[in-house]
Every structure is written in C-alpha cells, then in structure tokens.
C-alpha cells in the first residue's frame, strides 16, 4: 500500500495528498513559458499518475490551447492563485505537479533539465544531471525521471 505525501497552495485553502511511497523525482524546465508562469528562472515539476493525486479546496481551472492544438488545464487555488498542477491532452492520465507546493519541497532532487538553452546565464546546471537544449526525447526523459 502506498504512503501519502502532502502539499498545498500558499494560503492553505487547497490541499492535496499523493498516494506515493517516496517523494517524486523532479525536473526543471527553463523555457520562457515556465519562466513567465513561475515569475522565476525556471519551474520545478514532477510528472505523476493522475490517480495518485487527491485534491481538496477551491480549485480554479485555466485552460490554454497551444498552437499545436494540445490543451493544458492549469489548476490554481481559487483564493491565492497558486498554480498547483496541470493536465495536458498530450499526456492522458498524468498530472504535472508544481514541486514547490509539496510540504517537503526542500527534500526534492532535480534529476533532469529541459529547455536548457533558455536557462539564465548566471545559472550553472550541475554536472552529471541530464539536460536537453529543448524538450527531451520521451524515452530518455522517462528514464531520467524513473531513476
């Protein structure tokens, strides 16, 4: 039986549990969209089975259709507007969790970097951690996240 890992938004109105035995492996995305959405140099995320996530509280949905036709549904707290997770029509059954919303985010490890060509020039990516100039090939990315 899986354990539980918890997290939530900044104000605490939205809380979630993950039916996982261990903290998820995370990746950093340095693309311009993630920089804009996070208001920072990159976003740190984890891709998880949608069935592992249980959410409570006032969640709002912001839907965005990409030029390729993929639909991204962002879930944010209806009170403080923290972006908590999203789903994407390109990855049915998966959620992309904003890693900073985990209660134990200080224990996370970044195991891959994507869109490294957009990384801020002052940021040094660690040696030995896979990094791709743009999006990663699906199989290599999955291997990095699985460990």
- From first to last of its 147 residues, the chain has per-residue pLDDT tens of 467 899 999 999 999 999 999 999 999 999 998 999 889 999 999 999 999 999 999 999 999 998 999 999 999 999 999 999 999 998 999 999 999 999 999 999 999 999 999 999 999 999 999 999 999 999 999 999 997
Q: Is the dihedral of CA 19, 25, 30, 35 positive or negative?
A: positive
Please answer whether residues 87 and 96 qualify as being in contact, where contact means their C-beta atoms are separated by less than 8 angstroms. yes
Q: How far apart are the first and last CA of the chain?
A: 21
């Amino acid at each position: 039986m899986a354990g539980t890992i918890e997290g939530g938004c900044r104000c605490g109105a939205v809380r979630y549990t993950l039916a996982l035995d261990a903290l998820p492996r995370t990746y950093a995305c340095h693309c311009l969209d993630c920089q804009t959405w996070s208001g920072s140099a990159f976003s740190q995320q984890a891709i998880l089975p949608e069935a592992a996530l249980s959410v409570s509280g006032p969640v709002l949905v912001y839907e965005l259709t990409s030029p390729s036709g993929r639909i991204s549904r962002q879930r944010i707290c209806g009170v403080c507007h923290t972006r908590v997770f999203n789903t994407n029509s390109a990855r049915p059954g998966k959620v992309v969790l904003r890693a900073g919303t985990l209660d134990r985010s200080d224990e996370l490890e970044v195991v891959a970097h994507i869109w490294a060509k957009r990384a801020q020039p002052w940021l040094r990516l660690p040696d030995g951690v896979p990094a791709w100039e743009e999006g990663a090939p699906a199989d290599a990315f999955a291997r990095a996240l699985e460990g």
